Amino acid sequence: MFEISIIEYDGSKIKREQIENFRELSFKEGNDSLAYDKYDPDKTGQTFLNYVDGKLASLSVIEPSHYTGDPTVAARGCRLHIATEFRPAWLGLLHAPKQIMWAKENGFKVFFFTHDIRNRAINAMYQKRRFGGAVTELKKQMEWMWTSDWYQDLTLDTRLLFQVDERSDLLQYVYYWTLEDGYVWQPPSNVVWYEHNGRIKPSVSEKEIINAHK
């Protein structure tokens, strides 16, 4: 049985050193989401650290969503890295319950994250259509997530797609939790209003979608 512990970064020197070591590891493992020009743990939102048997295994951040132009309304989950040593695993999802709580306590109405529309396997998991096999003991310990209330409340926004940069054709599905009963989110920027079912066909290009909905 693995001991899994998820905590908020508290600004301490020892945690900062762990984050910096993990940042360097993420670069070596081919992930630039924790790049120095993008992420400062003392200034960028709230960092969540996930330890497995006392070793930092994954990190992610929740921050006000300046991308969608409503930073007092929407909180965005981002900057995720899972150490190769602990893959394959669903450790990033384990951050969600505490991040949902953080978003509620800080007055946000929506907490969301995004994922590339072309990653079919991961999107099928987020859309609850299919789950990856629990091929490791760590994964087997986390299978309870699929039936948890918070996971069942995760919603695919079928009205729109996220576009992180107007100069890029990269589009992502948006997954969110509504934190205020009855609230309907209307993000004002960095989205393409495009109705879909979460299964955009490979024959439909991102450029086509963007050009058709300018």
Per-residue pLDDT of 134-162, as tens digits, reads 778 898 899 999 999 999 999 999 999 99
- What band does 63 get if pLDDT is binned at 50, 70 and 90? very high
**What is the rounded average pLDDT for all residues in the chain?**
94
What is the CATH number assigned to the segment(s) 4-212? 3.40.630.30
Task: Quote the CA–CA distance of 102 and 111 in Å, as a whole number.
Answer: 10
* CA-wise closest residue to 22 among 112, 86, 110, 116: 86
pLDDT for the residue numbered 18: 98
pLDDT for the residue numbered 171: 97
Three-class SS state of 169:
coil
Domain residue extents for the chain:
4-212
- The residues with which 183 forms a beta bridge, in sequence order, are none
This prediction's pTM: 0.94
The tokens describing 150, both together, are: 């918070």
Residue type (1 letter), 141? Q
